[in-house]
Structure 1
Amino acid sequence: MDRPWLAHYPPGVPAEIDASGYSSLVDLLEDCFRRHATRDASICMDARMTYRDLDETSQALAGWLQSLGLERGTRVALMMPNLPQYMVAIAAVLRAGYVVVNVNPLYTARELEHQLKDSGAQAIVVLENFAATLEEVIQRTEVRHVLLAAMGDMLGFWKGRLVNFAVRHAKRMVPEFRLPADEGHTVTRFNDAVAAGQRLPLKRPSLQPDDIAFLQYTGGTTGVSKGAMLLHRNVVANILQSEAWFAPALTFLGDKPLTIVCALPLYHIYALTACNFLGLRLGMTNLLVPNPRDIPGFIATLQKHKVHMFPAVNTLFNALINHPDFGRLDFSELQICNGGGMAVQQATAQQWHAITGCWIVEGYGLSETSPVATANRIDIQGFTGSIGLPMPSTDIAIRDDDGNDVPLGTAGEICIRGPQVMPGYWRRPDETAKVMTPDDFFRSGDIGVMDANGEVRIVDRKKDMILVSGFNVYPTEIEQVVGLHNAVLECAAVGVPDDKSGEAVKLFVVRKDGVAVDEEDLMRYCRDNFTGYKRPKYIEFRDELPKTNVGKILRRELRRAA
């Protein structure tokens, strides 16, 4: 197929990547541990973990996991916020020859039970703060081994004890729990397991490129949450693709250690690859932020460090720029701000640049693509509104409902082919058949347009499109324009039933503090900016909008409420 995007790649970015040098993700990780041994792999609450620490601790934990007698390929769930223990556990599970199942620590018991049952996980590493949720469901799952972590486990002896006391007693953040410890279940403290593992051998498994590394569960925003099977070769490829894309923009900084902000949750595929794995590959320090919703605390953390790379979602960028202390930070070494997970809005991008001097480089991907499929050039000097160009070794096709390629400039479903694309969903051949084409493209469910340069622009998800009197209305367009209004903090557009037009547009709006705006003001603004059928028929003001734990606005929740 034609690849018009290759002519518009930044200097130094190759058309293809070669992942043949690594037989598994473990090989790549161990190479990182060797090359960057003396550097800091993470900083969390001022505690530092070097690459050598990460190597030795994860090897010990891997040996302990193997001592449980689990078979190769066993699924091990991880249920924690961004802590050094998480980085250690990811590496340990992979090095032991098992499969990582990332779990949102804020899941309800019902959601947790579904994921544990569906994955067939036999072990779980869980922060004690969330053990009460596990207690509710563990007897109905295959989980037999619980590794119980505490917030202060890797913060040093005295600081760790102080943090654990504060979390457990002062802040009462650990609900009472009683996990089963009988003939069929074991419960072990994280640090005890690491200490025991230091006396145990690690039997290095013979991992192959096609072995499963992760069951990465989809967000569930389009139906039942499914486990995308990400193979070792899928994740290795996306790390190398991301390195190829971003590295040229960082080379002029030299070989000094760089810091990447890891505020997005590591259980999410975006942070897993863009922060954890890419950071390790480039010898960066992951600045771990366990609770990014605490914006004052987040800003206080940023104040202590000069950061070089800042991945986030629009809602997080927006929350930071609207805090009065954010503009006082030192951004002199910030080089790359990459946005994903949801559309970056123009107003957010412009205000972020005005404060930091760095444009947000928007990219696009999904759990099923490890995740990065496209990205804007790092040297952009403005808001593009596009998701950029296909990554190296990646093909993007825009297709109609019958699977035919549409002409450039015509809207259709974005389909992705490349070494980062999953082979399918865990134990769901029916769902796999719906999204994988005979020529190995993944059907994303997103509607987009490709121009003559190969640049792709998202129009919207199929399911979110609003049909008004036979005309297509795309919520992202409405949200982008309304988001430019100086009184609007956040907004979301959904379709609601209408007797005359089939559907009508309803707009949900969160006002900025201290800025007055009413329904008539926004209606007037929309009349000035949209043709008739695109204008919202209803406007509802709210104090906040429902979001996933990654920060995506949940339009489906708003549709239900509408």
Structure 2
Amino acid sequence: MSATIQDTSQQPTGRFWLASYPEGMAEAIAPLEHASIGALVESCCARYADRPAFTSMGKTLTFRDFEAASARIGAWLQAKGLEKGDRVAVMMPNILQNPVIIFGILRAGFVVVNVNPLYTPRELEHQLKDAGAKALFVLENFASTVAQVVSRTAVRHVVVATMGDMLGLKGLIVNLVVRKVKKLVPAWSLPGHVPFTQVTAEGARGTLKPVDIAPDDTAFLQYTGGTTGVSKGATLTHANLLSNMEQIKLWIEPTFHIKKRPDQLVFICALPLYHIFALTVNGLMGIALGGHNVLIANPRDIPAFVKELAKYRVHIFPGLNTLFNALMNNPDFAKLDLSGLVLTLGGGMAVQRPVAERWQKMTGCAITEGYGLSETSPVATANRFDKPEFTGTIGLPLPSTDIEIRDDDGRTLALGEVGEICIRGPQVMAGYWQRPDETAKAMTPDGFFRSGDIGFMTPEGLIKIVDRKKDMILVSGFNVFPNEIEEVAMSHPGILECAAIGVPDEHSGEAVKLFVVRKDPALTEADVKAHCAANLTNYKRPKFVEFRNELPKSNVGKILRKDLRG
């Protein structure tokens, strides 16, 4: 881990990368103006009351509407006897209910547990149990998954929403199409559940009681993969997220020295709000800047997405390399007027140079790559927003952020030497939820988070990732850990041994490949894939299955994934 990429023995001293900052950029963020995310929301909703805040399927909530709707959610939860700090899970795509619920939970003094709505029952049960969630909001499309596990969890209040709940009369048609035409709602039964519309009606009759929330109180349990294959919750405080928001706000400012600041910024929210990238960059940033977030419920439906884009003069577009690539391969995308784009933000996975160059040519706006993790709320580094050239790096440390490249023994390496990217700053999590052992492994005594990503730093302070945690697979911006895939696969009686690795994939960056040694000679690829599909959400499932007579092993019998990767 200490191979030299460039011939230099220069030892980094202090925040030397500040010399590469835009002129006038602050070295650090100012003290936080608000103690909690709820306080920020209330302040911004009063300030921008008549502006559009969120739009979904043609229906728009103003900031005033948004404040009232989130207050109703918070009031209802408080009336159910939940106590400050109790965890509330949210299992929804990008529809109006999602931000209303998330910020209602936070304003009421509770902790949000974001859940991928595509989780299998096994994955959902683990997360609900681990978090100790007391309540759960779910879209009816995914209620059948909840019904299979909820009785084995601490969840006592289940709220079920429909796609059309907040769309007025149009919502009746939307629900009819979703249920009867597209058949997107599998049969479910949740005795005692409460419809979302009932929650808002009851919440409107109550009052959201003020809660004393400190900056260090937990706001989110953001679940991430674990090297042990067990998903664990990054404990993110109100201060973590507010700090990251302030860091990004500072970083954005020089952009408006080049491109005129619009009267109101329009954000495209195509990444799911349960993903930390969208949560901070769209959700929090949008609210803080008085922006208008256009929610895209199903970004995989590219033709519908392109039609939605045509309706707005878009200014800020966060996304993944795979999403940008898919859009550009749609013939109607080229017809869009995207001259209003101020920023295209690439994260979640590496941005490929051909994609970045093609995007700039088609839209007139560069893709600016940044880097972060659930544990860093998420942004730790970013390229300059006021410089359009593609650097192929993850950029510079943000204000108030220290980054060091360290070896396995924790020593800081010279510039150009390859080691682990370690991050310290106000956006770094408080630790892993109820896992002091994992927290101790991830955090150094001097407060740095060990990212597990391998890279080096240039004399300008730019950071280049050259590898990742040895075995982690990155599928469309989501971490996939081989241990979890292998554990699921091994529960099939026909499998003797297996090993999962990541292989390059033009659509998702990487895809999962599973090597299998059969116990049952009749076992087929279809059998393996069907078994994995029943127990793993889509992005974790093996795309490729290869049967082998044996797997490479070390002297002590450990399967060597590196040998399978070739």
TM-score interval, smaller chain: 0.7 to 0.9
For 1:64, the equivalent position in structure 2 comes to 76
Corresponding residue to 1:215 among 203, 212, 221: 221
- Contact kept in structure 1, 2:418 and 2:454, CA below 8 Å: yes
Q: Find the counterpart in structure 1 of residue 230 from structure 2.
A: 224
Q: Which residue of 2 aligns with 1:40?
A: 52
SS state of the match for residue 143, structure 1?
coil
Partner of 1:199: 205
1:405-449 Cα shifts (integer Å, max 9, x gaps): 000010110000000000100010111011000000000000011
Counterpart CA distance in 2 for 1:366 and 1:160 is: 36
For 1:243, give the aligned amino acid. Answer: K
Structure 1 residue 83 and structure 2 residue 95: aligned? yes
Q: Which one of 29, 38, 45 corresponds to residue 26 of structure 1?
A: 38
Q: CA deviation at 1:27?
A: 1.4
Q: Of 169, 175, 179, which aligns to 1:168?
A: 179
In structure 2, the residue matched to 1:540 is none
Q: How far, CA to CA, are the matches of 1:556 and 1:242 in structure 2?
A: 36
1:5 aligns with 2:17: yes
CA distance in 2, matches of 1:336, 1:297: 22
Distance 2:166 2:294 in 1: 14
Aligned match for 2:327, one of 320, 329, 334: 320
Aligned partner (choices 346, 366, 374) of residue 339 of structure 1: 346
Instruction: Report the AA paired with residue 94 of structure 1.
Output: L
3-state DSSP of counterpart to 2:453: strand
Aligned residues between the structures: 487
* CA pair 317-221 structure 1, distance change in 2 beyond 3 A: farther
Shift of 1:258: 1.6
Q: Structure 2 CA distance, aligned partners of 1:58 and 1:326?
A: 35
Structure 2 residue 202 is the aligned partner of structure 1 residue 190: no
How do 1:352-371 residues align onto structure 2 when only pairs under 5 Å count? Answer: 352-371=359-378
- Taking the aligned partners of 1:511 and 1:54, their CA distance within structure 2 comes to 36
Distance 1:83 1:325 in 2: 24
Counterpart CA distance in 2 for 1:193 and 1:2 is 52
Residue 218 of structure 1 contacts residue 225 of structure 1 at CA under 8 Å; is this kept in 2? yes
Structure 1 residue ranges without an equivalent (≥5): 182-186, 466-474, 480-493, 495-504, 513-545
Specify whether residues 109 and 443 from structure 1 end up closer, same or farther in structure 2 by C-alpha distance, changes over 3 A only. Answer: same
In the TM superposition, 1:509-528 aligns within 5 A as none
**Distance in 1 between the 2:251 and 2:68 partners?**
30
Counting aligned pairs with the same residue, the percent is 55
Decide which of 397, 410, 424 is 1:390's aligned counterpart.
397
Contact 2:268/2:294 (CA < 8 Å) preserved in 1? yes
Q: Return the match for 1:117 from 121, 129, 152.
A: 129
- Aligned-residue Cα RMSD (Å) equals 2.6
Deviation track 1:365-406 (CA, whole Å, cap 9, x = no partner) reads 000000000000012232211000000100001000000000
On the 8 A contact 1:42/1:287 being kept in 2, the answer is: yes
Stretches of structure 2 that go unaligned for 5 or more consecutive residues are: 1-12, 476-481, 483-500, 509-531, 548-563
TM-score computed with the length of structure 1 as normaliser: 0.82
Choose the corresponding residue for 1:375, options 374, 377, 382: 382
The 3 A distance-change label for structure 1 pair 555 and 315 is farther
**Which structure carries more relative contact order (alpha carbon 8 Å, separation 6+)?**
2
Q: Which runs of structure 2 are paired with 1:369-518 in the superposition (5 Å)?
A: 369-464=376-471, 508=504
Deviation at 1:464, TM superposition (A): 4.6
Partner SS for 1:253: coil
Residue 506 to residue 283, structure 1, CA distance change in 2 (3 Å): closer
Q: Distance in 1 between matches of 2:275 and 2:430?
A: 19
Distance in 2 separating the partners of 1:6 and 1:189: 52
Deviation at 1:172, TM superposition (A): 1.2
Q: Which residue of 1 aligns with 2:478?
A: none
Quick one: distance in 1 between partners of 2:502 and 2:317? 33
Partner of 1:497: none
With over 3 angstroms needed to count, the CA separation of the structure-2 counterparts of 1:337 and 1:560, relative to structure 1, is: farther
Match of residue 246, structure 1, among 246, 252, 255:
252
The 3 A distance-change label for structure 1 pair 511 and 152 is: closer
1:283 and 2:290 aligned: yes
Q: Could you tell which deviates more after superposition, 4-13 or 401-410?
A: 4-13
1:526-541 equivalent positions in 2, closer than 5 A: none
Q: SS at the partner of 1:310?
A: strand
Q: CA deviation at 1:36?
A: 1.1
**TM-score (norm. length: structure 2):** 0.82
Which stretch of structure 1 is more off in the superposition, 1-10 or 339-348? Answer: 1-10
Deviation, 1:91, is 0.8
Q: 1:315·1:552 contact (CA, 8 Å) conserved in 2? A: no
